[in-house]
Chains A and B, each alone.
Chain A
Amino acid sequence: KRRRNDAVEIEDRLESLIIRVGEKSTSSLESNLEGLASVLEADINNYKTKILKILSDCAVKMPEKTTIYTTLVGLLNAKNYNFGGEFVDLMARKLKEALKACFWKTARYVLRFFADLVNCHVISTNSLLQLLHTFLDTARDDNSPQVRSDTYIYAVLSCLPWVGRELYEKKEQDLERLLKHIEIYVRKRGRKHVPGLRVWRSDRPHPQEEYLDCLWSQIGKLRSDMWQEKHIARPYVAFDSILCEALQHNIPPLTLPPHHQDNTYPFPWVVFRLFDYTDCPEGPVLPGAHSIERYLIEEHLHNIIKEYHLERKQCAACLLDFPLKLKIPLEYMIVEVVLAELFHLPGPRYIEICYGSLLIELCKLQPATMPQVLAQAVELLYDRIDTMNVCCFDRFVNWFGYHLSNFQFKWSWDDWLEASQLDSTHPRAKFVIEVLQRAMRLSYRQRIAEVVPEQFDCFVPNKPEPIYKFSADTSGDMPGYDTAQHLEQIIRAKATYSDVIEALGEMPNPLRENDESDPPYNPLQIQVFVQTLLHLGSKSFSHGFAGISKFLKVFEAIVGSSEEAQILVLKEMHDVWHHHQQMMVILTEKFLRTQIVRCASVATWVFSKEMMPEFTKNYIWEIIHATIRKMNKHVAKLQREVNDARERRTGNDSDESSSDEEEQRPRPSEEEIERMEEKLETAQADQKNLFLIIFQRFIMILSEHLVRCDTDGRDFNTHWYRWTVGRLNQIFMMHNTQVERYSQTLSTLLFTQDLDPHILDAFNQFIALRS
């Protein structure tokens, strides 16, 4: 037993040594590598499996240390040829598994590792070229989507910065042949997805390039520089005399797993470019958009964010401690990379506040430079906001309002005074309006009114106060006035729901035309009840919620399942609270949760004529997306329950791994499962219906606009039009996984070929994400 403990101890020590090699140390990297190689060599016979495993894990999990580990493997291979061979085989298996499981990033890092192993004389040049050609063959596969071949070609391109020079020196002709193949592919590939993924519509001042096009240009530049790059540290150069003596291995031939319809591939993206070298005049020069250094540094910074995103302080510290910090304008590159993630389309990798709090940490940690660079970035974003994607506009507004709230709302507002002269739907004016709305939500109105210049008075939000239709100082002859007064009294005196029903029961129904007809609901009842209840609960969210919960049965009785009645509830809520956007968002959510209104009613309400003046305001879209999200969550929950029940029904009881915490749950019967499936189907039908309503309304209002502009001979391309198309795009982007399930229906029912191409574009861009 003692010996086993010793073995574990040694294995742990080896693991720690391997993982930590390359970290800051008093001796040089070269001597550390040399020492580690000797230690490992001595232990290879006893701990081979373990060493192989650790090394292969490090190879894919720490891509920023690729060249350190390839050097180590090179040194080991020089000492022990068989070990080198086993490592190559293991990595080849890893690659195969990754490709099969659609772990594309892992696959890309294995390929890169192989490429760099060529530099360390572990792998023969020919066998790498063969593997690269195997990857390129996907370009000829016509029966698979473009995203598949894109993914493979991207992997090939992204390993060339490591091995390009070596191939150029040893196999120039083969390298040229490889590049020719890639060029043909890059030229002919489709680009329908690009417009939907751009942060800006415009290419001025900086072109917004698609990722593969951009990397292709960067590789082209590298090629014209004779494959010399200055970013990658290459410790193996120091060991050339040892390494060149070693014998090389061949990568075992690999057949790629064919495309399967369940495979998921990374979405394409557009490279976010905010700065160029003129934006950072002091200090080191910013690498150009097509220099390979820009690509390599950005990839590294993204990886740091990925590694540390759960720990924002550590993340900020690691970013600022970037190895090459003295050679590049680091703050600019960090800000560009963080904003690239925040604005990523269709959605950011992590929740938005992750980036917001990271930027706050960065400012705190580097107060001398970071806040200025970030302010410069905001200025540039504001300058370019006219053509900004609506999804990104929202994220920009939400982040900036939040950021300001952490810095006392200090901002050079005077620089934006021109916005007050603009039409309120102009993107710049809108940006200021919406930022102040957000800022107010995190603070209070008076404070916001005080921090901005008086020219912005027109942008300062209204006092977030309720407007009660039946208040004591309004006219008493308004229909419902007396009931409202009475209702107010009895609710204050702790009335029960039946008291309320009774009080409302006496009201005449304006919908009743004669004694025979029985209208489905009474609009006057709803008006009086909703107005009074919200008025009485206006002190805080909690007060409002308490009132709604207490009188839920009244809603059930007077609203019921009628869609018009539900829309009326929302309309009355809007009448009372239209100066308090956050209240409307929260109350709508409450109405949905308590099932007073259905999702479809919310959608219909938002597109109603009365709401058109509000249509381009952000809070409306906050409501719509929250409504869709709620529906999506509901469907996902039911789906999970069905899956879980099916598993419990068919699964065997021997699975004890999870049973110690969970209670033994009984096996569901076939009937129970059927009932659950029915529920799921109903929910999916509702979800589909919700999307159909939303898209249909979009098509209606956009078509109407286009036709009217055409007959009037006006330009259709107005601010309103661009906001509306942007919002349509946003639905596709934000909910693309859910919309995708119904894309067949959408293309046959709504987005048909005879539709105006301007509207059809949004649908096509969404489809192109996966094709």
Chain B
Amino acid sequence: SRVEQERRLRNTATLYVGNLSFFTTEEQLYELFGRAGDVKRIVMGLDKFKKTPCGFCFVEYYTREDSEMCMRYVNGTRLDDRIIRTDWDAGFIEGRQYGRG
């Protein structure tokens, strides 16, 4: 439901990251996002058919506070010359890493 979804977004420590270059690697993401706090995991968004990175990922922090730091200081800065966008995400579920082909 919508209320449930909003509650999740308020408490989540997971971010959806968009506008990445297709060539940006998990290593680079760890380096940048690790500067805002302890990263629990990163799930790369993959092309449904080719299984190659396709410009987005999920970054999960251990704490909400660290993900807030990321929203404040990483959102809107550059990685691989592209301005990356971060947004709250209700939480990664298996299968969501596949974008449109």
Contact = CB atoms under 8 A, between A and B. Distances in A.
A351 B69 contact: yes
Given A353-B35, A353-B36, A582-B30, A312 B73 contact: yes
A304 B13 CA distance: 29
Interface string B12-56: 000000000001011110111001100001101000000000000
Given A442-B32, A541-B26, A542-B26, A357 B81 contact: no
Contacts of B28: 441-444
A408 interface: yes
A540 interface: yes
B30 A402 contact: no
Contacts of A443: 28, 80
A633 to B, nearest CB: 9
A69 to B, nearest CB: 30
A213 interface: no
Contact of B30 (A353, A354, A541): A541
A357 B42 CA distance: 22
Interface in A337-354: 351-354
B79 A357 contact: no
Q: Which of A351, A402, A442, A540 has the most CB of B within 10 A?
A: A442
B37 to A, nearest CB: 8
B80 A354 contact: no
B26 A356 contact: no
B51 to A, nearest CB: 12
Given A353-B35, A402-B35, A586 B77 contact: no
Interface in A573-595: 582-583, 586
A123 interface: no
Secondary structure dominating the interface of A: helix
Nearest to B72: A310
A442 B72 CA distance: 19
A406 interface: yes
B72 A582 contact: no
Main secondary structure of the interface of B (DSSP, over half): mixed
Given A351-B69, A442-B79, A357 B74 contact: yes
Contact of A582 (B27, B74, B77, B81): B27
Contact of A353 (B41, B73, B79): B73
Contacts of A441: 27-28, 31
B31 A582 contact: yes
Interface in B68-96: 69, 72-74, 77-81
A372 B77 CA distance: 20
Nearest to B83: A406
A405 B41 CA distance: 23
A579 to B, nearest CB: 13
A360 interface: yes
Contacts of B31: 438, 441-442, 582
Given A442-B32, A541-B30, A354 B25 contact: no
Contacts of B80: 443
Contacts of B35: 351-353, 356, 398, 402
Interface in A346-393: 351-354, 356-357, 360
Nearest to A626: B38
A443 B32 CA distance: 10
Given A441-B31, A582-B27, A406 B78 contact: yes
Contacts of B79: 405, 442
Contacts of A351: 35-36, 69, 73
Interface string A489-505: 00000000000000000
Nearest to B25: A540
A402 B73 CA distance: 12
Nearest to B28: A442
B52 to A, nearest CB: 12
Contacts of A360: 77
A408 B32 contact: no
Nearest to B36: A353
Most A CB within 10 A of own CB, among B23, B28, B41: B28
Given A405-B79, A442-B79, A443-B80, A356 B73 contact: yes
Contacts of A356: 35, 73
Nearest to A545: B41
Contacts of A312: 72-73
Q: Which 3 A-B pairs have the closest CB atoms?
A: A441-B31, A357-B73, A353-B35
16 contacts: A353-B35, A353-B73, A353-B74, A356-B35, A357-B72, A357-B74, A402-B35, A406-B77, A441-B28, A443-B80, A444-B28, A540-B25, A540-B26, A540-B27, A582-B27, A582-B30
Given A351-B73, A354-B73, A441-B27, 8 more contacts: A351-B35, A353-B36, A353-B74, A398-B35, A444-B25, A541-B26, A542-B44, A582-B31
